[in-house]
Amino acid sequence: MSDIFKKLQESANLAMKSTSSDESMKHLANAFSLFSKEAKRIENSYKTLQDRFLKVSSILEKKEKDLTHKITDLNSITSYLNNILSNISQGILFIDLDGIITTFNSPAEKILEKKQDEILFQSYFDCFNDDFFGFSMKDAIKLKQTKKLNYIFFKKNEKEIEVTTSFVYDCPSRYQGIIIMLKDMTKLKKLEVLANRNDRLNHLGEMAASVAHEIKNPLGVIRGYASLLHNDLKDNKTLQTMTSYILDGTRSLERVVNNVLEYARPVSLTVVSSNITKLIKELIKDISIDPTFSKNVKIDLHLADTDTMLPMDKDLIKSAFLNLIVNAYQAIEEIGTLNISTYKNNDYFIININDTGTGIEEKDLENVFSPFFTTKQYGNGLGLSQTHKIIQAHFGTIEVRSIVNKGTTFCISLPIKR
């Protein structure tokens, strides 16, 4: 470009120094010729550049469209995977080799009771203890392997959680890390306990019924002969008194045998839609005027819903609640409080009966619904087992929590629809 300007300048200078007009025109013509050639060359270069620009622009536009499609596909895949992660029942965490939590789904949020925005893309060691899941996370990241024991159970806020771990190897190092899968086993464990309890109760019921039948016949014979003997000894008051003890004993045994046979029979329900809150109020009213219930026990009612109608056998449910309330009164030695509260939980109506009594030792909690198990001096151990049968016949559940010297809570769940 500088050579052209130099030649143009030289031609212009020669034209100016020319002594004749012909010579001057010759130099100017030469200058215009050079200018025209350079202008043509620049025009051609511009066209070439324009063609290249259009070509590059077209390529870039195509690349942009491809990239947009890829981003759209990536967003769709990400959304798809996030939906899967959010809707599976198991909690999932992924910790990379830098100890950063890059995956923390909604079930993990619920199980661990930690918010996603507080955990995601944070350092694992800022959020959890090194051995929170039963193994050293530092060692696992360093050695690139997790503990061989895949199933670890730990309790958190009365939850039982199953932890499964594995290490991701088959990918570039930036994608390697530890997957932790969490499964809330609380409901399953409760079902196992309930199944074991029902199995045990069925076996005990069958055995008790068999024993009761075997006892009933000879007991009737004993009572019959004791009655005859009692009549024959009317002239000997001392011996007659002794036979009356035998008769009292046989009557007491008959009551136990009849209770056992009654327990062994299946519960027969007469189901009608009844107001559960009204039933509880009627029961408390009866208790309040009954002199056998201590006046030193204060009754607190917290009835959340007054209009709920439940399908139930009113008399049997009343009997089940009465058993629990009698137990509560007997557990309160002198002065105390009986709390009864109700509320709805999805498709169930929940009734909590709580006392401030002596409580139940942990070793006895599992047996409280077993027939003939009792810690009372004069109890027969059939009250709570019969209550359990009644609640179960209504497709409900009953659970017990207790702290020694603090009190006991029975939680009954009854379905709103049968």
With bands split at pLDDT 50, 70 and 90, how would you rate the model's confidence at 26?
confident
Calpha distance 418→414 (Å, rounded): 9
Indicate whether 298 and 357 sit together in one domain. Answer: yes
pLDDT of residue 260: 66
Task: Give the pLDDT confidence score for residue 162 in this predicted structure.
Answer: 83
pLDDT band per the 50, 70, 90 thresholds, residue 4: low
CATH number of the domain that residue 102 is part of: 3.30.450.20
Mean pLDDT computed over 231-243: 82
More confident residue, 352 or 204: 352
User: Which residue has better confidence, 380 or 142?
Assistant: 142
Please give the angle made by the CA atoms of 58, 62 and 63, to the nearest 5 degrees: 115
Q: How many domains does the chain have?
A: 4
Q: How confident is the model at residue 375 (pLDDT cuts 50, 70, 90)?
A: low
pTM, full prediction? 0.49
With tokens 């519960």, the residue in question is 267
Spell out the alpha helix ranges (H) of 92-233.
Answer: 106-112, 116-119, 124-127, 137-143, 186-232
Question: Looking at the structure, do residues 317 and 405 belong to the same domain, yes or no?
Answer: yes
> What angle, rounded to 10 degrees, do the helices at 21-87 and 2-17 form?
160
Based on the fold, state whether residues 291 and 409 are members of the same structural domain: yes
User: What CATH number is attached to the domain comprising 310?
Assistant: 3.30.565.10
Between 108 and 3, where is the model more confident?
108
What integer pLDDT is reported at residue 254 of this predicted model?
75
Structure-token pair, residue 307: 């209009």
Of 151, 156, 166, the C-alpha closest to 132 is 156
Q: Are the C-beta atoms of residues 158 and 186 closer than 8 Å to each other?
A: yes
113, 157 Cβ separation under 8 angstroms? yes
Mean pLDDT of the chain: 81
Q: Which of 89-98, 180-189, 221-230, 261-270 has the highest mean pLDDT?
A: 89-98
For residue 382, count other CB atoms closer than 10 A to its CB.
Answer: 20
How far, in Å, CA of 384 to CA of 366, rounded? 12
Are 295 and 349 in a shared domain? yes
d(CA 339, CA 369): 21
Q: What is the pLDDT of residue 341?
A: 92
User: Please, where are the H alpha helices in 233-275?
Assistant: 237-264
pLDDT at 367 (0 to 100): 78
Buried/exposed code over 237-274 (b: 16+ C-beta within 10 A; e: otherwise)? eeeeeebeebeeebeebeeebebbeebbeeeebeeeeb
* Domain edge (last residue) among 136, 166, 184: 184
> Is residue 314 within 8 Å of residue 279, measured between CB atoms?
yes
- 246, 264, 282 - which closes a domain: 264
Do 278 and 389 lie in one domain? The reply is yes
Name all contacts of 193-200 with Cβ < 8 Å and 24+ positions apart.
193/366, 194/397, 197/366, 197/369, 197/370, 197/388, 198/392, 200/370
Query: What 3-state class would DSSP assign to 38?
Result: helix
- Burial grade of 107 (CB within 10 A; 0-12, 13-18, 19 or more): buried
CB 110 within 8 Å of CB 119: no
Looking at the fold, whether 283 and 376 belong to one and the same domain comes out as yes
Q: Residues of the chain with pLDDT > 90: what percent?
A: 12
Q: Which domain holds residue 224?
A: 189-264
Return the higher-pLDDT residue of 262 and 89: 89
Q: pLDDT-based confidence at 413, cuts 50/70/90? A: very high
If asked whether residues 105 and 167 sit together in one domain, one would say yes
Mean pLDDT, residues 26-36 taken together: 73
CB 415 within 8 A of CB 317: no
For residue 152, pLDDT beyond 60: no
Q: Span 353-371, mean pLDDT?
A: 84
Q: What is the pLDDT of residue 354?
A: 93
Question: Do 200 and 254 lie in a common domain?
Answer: yes
Residues 278 and 407 in one domain: yes
- For residue 160, the tally of other CB atoms under 10 A from its CB is 16
Q: What pLDDT, on a 0 to 100 scale, did the predictor assign at position 253?
A: 76
Asked if the model's pLDDT at residue 295 lies above 70, the reply is yes
d(CA 369, CA 399): 10
Looking at the predicted structure, is the pLDDT value of residue 176 above 80? Answer: yes
DSSP secondary structure of 352-397: EEEE-SS---HHHHTTTTSTT---SSS--S-HHHHHHHHHHHTT-E
User: Measuring CA to CA, which residue among 394, 389, 397 is closest to residue 418?
Assistant: 394
- Give pLDDT tens digits for 5-16: 676 677 667 666
For the cut 70, the answer to whether the pLDDT of residue 280 exceeds it is yes
- Write out pLDDT tens, residues 306-355: 778 999 999 899 989 998 998 888 888 878 899 999 998 888 999 999 99
Q: Is beta strand 336-345 parallel, antiparallel or unpaired with respect to 297-303?
A: parallel
Domain end (from 221, 238, 264): 264
HEC string of 280-330 equals: HHHHHHHHHHCCCCCCCEEEEEEECCCCCEEEECHHHHHHHHHHHHHHHHH
128 and 10 within one domain: no
Same domain, yes or no, for 78 and 92?
Answer: no
379 alpha carbon, distance to own chain's centre: 37
Q: Does one domain contain both 298 and 350?
A: yes
pLDDT at 292 over 90: no
